[in-house]
Structures are given as structure tokens and as C-alpha cells.
Amino acid sequence: MERKKIFITGATGFIGANFVRVLSENKKYVLYLLVKPDADMWRIKNYVNLPDINVINGDLSDVASYAGKIKEINPDYIFHLAAYGVYPSRETDVEKIFKINFVSTMNFINALDEINYECLITTGSSLEYGIKNEPMKEDVFSVPICAYGASKSCVSTYALFHARNKNKPIVHARLFMVYGQMEDKARFFPQLMISLIQNKDFKMTSGDQGRDFVFVEDIVNGFIKIAENADSVKGNIINIGTGIQTKLKDFAYASKEITKSKSSILIGDREHRKDEIFYSVADNSKINSFLNWSPQILIDEGIKKSEKWFSENMANYTD
């Protein structure tokens, strides 16, 4: 069987690096990673020298740096994972959020027109929906309340327009609360895991925020399901979430119990973010009915797997 060629942007990030890790173990694929010359490679340094993984130097904001290369590769599947603004504590430049997430993505989609790819997946976010009070379904009107969510909503609109206009197999995947190994230390879950492993007290807000926690390996498997069945879902938005909402404080207490940490969970020691969302859960009926996808790693197992990884890789999380 001929091996599929996969092109990935954002391969040095949290989700992208887990793509590389998981797919490197599957001999069905050859990977091509678009990586900026100055990118921090710590997440994928153990994979880039493998025979089926190829690093392509280029910058998403500079079409000329990658257009000829990707045309020469002629990939079967394209996973567009690069993004800016995921970390509101440090990625706050609104103009840059829209330039990278929307303008560069639009140019990237256009640059692929001469390639007869089987599937292009653009990556979205539950933040596209804004404030809702019921499970978020793909066809509801989205009213994002943050720049990142708004930029991703623009991507979904353009991606679906282009899919129809050019008859291209494009799918926009909206991800919910992804967590797991290699996650950035600015995020809730790594901060929690590091505190618990080190038996340090963990300060948090009220913890009443509800989130649909999805283990990162389930995200990878969901993306592959979409790519391999693109004919049945092309031109669609697809939620990838568990359909189960868990409050942050309940997630923190469960993590403390599973890790047997001596830490204290200090509820209410931090203020909520401005425009905090307290309800967020996916309606995942579309991905379940069209692709027979359901999460395989629920919270307890995800925490256990993550505890082992963070314990072994703590050096990457200390200043």
C-alpha cells in the first residue's frame, strides 16, 4: 500500500508535536513539517532525525518560503495547526492574532489550490462559539468574545467558502479543552500537574468554569478519522470534544487524588479572567455519527498518562 504524505504546520507546538509523536509510530505515513528557522524544537527534537520525518524550513506568513516546497511534496493530507493567541497571558497582540490566524491561513489555503490533496483540516476552537448555555453544535451562530475566537471564526468562514467555491476537501475542526503531555506551562493543566508532582499548593479561581476536557491523543485520532473519511465530511465544521463537561475545581481535585499529591488546592486565590466563559461543552453527535469517533481516553486515564510524562520531563518546565 502506498504511504500517505502528511504536511503539518505548527509541528513544534503542543498539539502539533503530539501529532508528530503519534504518527511517527505509524508506518502508513511520511511526515513533512513546516518549521520556522527560529522555532523552539524541544518538543520534537527526538523525532526530526527519523527517516520518515522531514523538516521544511519556512514561515507561514511568507507564502514564497513554502509554496514551491509544498507543491513539490504534493501531500495527501494537510493539517494546519499553527496559531497565535492561544496563551492569553502572553500572546495579546490583536493585530498579530488576526494576521497569523486568519490572513496567513487564507493565503495558505489559496497557495494549495494546485495541489490535489485528499483533505485539508484547518484548526478551530470552542472559543468561536462565545457564551452559550447548552452543548455547542456546529450550526449555531457563533459570537466569539475574544480575539482568538473571532480570528478562528473568520478561518471557518473562509475555509468553508473556499471548499465550496473551489470544490476542495476542506474541514474545519473545532477543538475543545485539549490537555496532555507537552502542553505549554502557561496553561491550566501543566501548572496544576507541576504543582501536584512537586507537592506545592495550587492557587486557582473559584473553579466553577465548565470545560470539555479532551486528551490530546484523542484529538490526533479524531483528525486522522476526518482525513481518512474526508468525502463524507468535506465542507463541514466538526467539533472534537467528549460531550462531557467538568468544572475546573473538580478536575483539580480529581488530579490531586490520582497523583496522591500532598498539595492543597486553594480555591478562590486567583481572580477570573475578563469575559470568563463558565459553560463549554461540545455537541459531538456529528463526528460520532459521520465518523464513529468517540473519546477513548477519559479524564482519569488522561491524568495518569500525563502525570508520568510530566514527572519524566520536569526539566522542560523549570526556569
Per-residue pLDDT reduced to its tens digit, 218-247: 999 999 999 999 999 999 999 999 999 999
- Indicate the pairing of strand 29-35 with strand 202-203: unpaired
What is the mean pLDDT of the segment spanning 177-192? 95
pLDDT at residue 303 greater than cutoff 90: yes
Contacts of 116 (CB under 8 A, 6+ apart): 74
| SS percent in the chain: helix, strand, coil, step 5 | 40, 20, 45
**Mean pLDDT computed over 244-251:** 98
Q: Are residues 101 and 195 in the same domain?
A: no
Structural domains counted in the chain: 2
Average pLDDT over residues 284-290: 96
pLDDT tens by residue, 95-150? 999 999 999 999 999 999 999 999 999 999 999 999 999 999 999 988 999 999 99
- Do residues 194 and 232 both lie within one domain? no
**Are residues 136 and 234 both part of a single domain?**
yes
User: Does residue 61 share a domain with residue 166?
Assistant: yes
- What confidence category does residue 319 fall into, taking pLDDT thresholds of 50, 70 and 90? low
| Residue 200 structural domain | 188-210+245-278+302-317
Nearest by Cα to 76 from 120, 130, 11, 21:
120
Residues 118 and 157 in one domain: yes
User: What is the rounded average pLDDT for all residues in the chain?
Assistant: 95
What's the mean pLDDT in 31-41? 95
Q: What percent of the chain has pLDDT over 70?
A: 98
Q: How far is CA 269 from the centre of its chain?
A: 28
* CATH code: domain of residue 90: 3.40.50.720
DSSP secondary structure, 148-205, as one string: HHHHHHHHHHHHHHHHHHHT--EEEEEE-EEE-TT--TTSHHHHHHHHHHTT--EE--
**In the structure, what pLDDT confidence band is assigned to residue 89 with cuts at 50, 70 and 90?**
low
Contact between 42 and 66 under an 8 Å Cβ cutoff? The reply is no
105 shares its domain with 29? yes
The C-alpha atoms of residue 159 and residue 169 are separated, in whole angstroms, by 10
Residues 271 and 218 in one domain: no
What's the CA gap between 230 and 7, in Å, rounded? 16
Residues 193, 239 within the same domain: no
- 203 and 94 share a domain? no
Q: Are 128 and 137 in contact (CB under 8 A)?
A: no
List CB contacts of 118: < 8 A, sequence separation 6 or more.
Answer: 4, 76, 77, 169, 227, 230
114 and 147 fall within a common domain: yes
pLDDT for 85: 81
What's the average model confidence in pLDDT over 62-75? 96
pLDDT of residue 273: 85
CATH number at 250 reads: 3.90.25.10
CA separation, residue 255 to residues 55, 248, 261, 316 (Å): 36, 10, 8, 21
Q: 306 and 157 in one domain?
A: no
Residue 210 CA to residue 178 CA, distance in Å, equals 13
Report pLDDT for 199.
Answer: 97
User: Which distant-in-sequence residues (6+ apart) come within 8 Å of 315 by Cβ?
Assistant: none
| 207-216 pLDDT tens trace | 999 999 999 9
20-29, 74-83, 148-157, 197-206, range with the lowest pLDDT: 20-29
Check: CB of residue 176 under 8 Å from CB of residue 209: no
pLDDT of the residue at 318? 78
How far is it, in rounded angstroms, from Cα 316 to Cα 308? 14
pLDDT score of 223: 97
Residue 238 gets which letter from DSSP? E
On whether both 147 and 227 belong to a single domain, the answer is yes
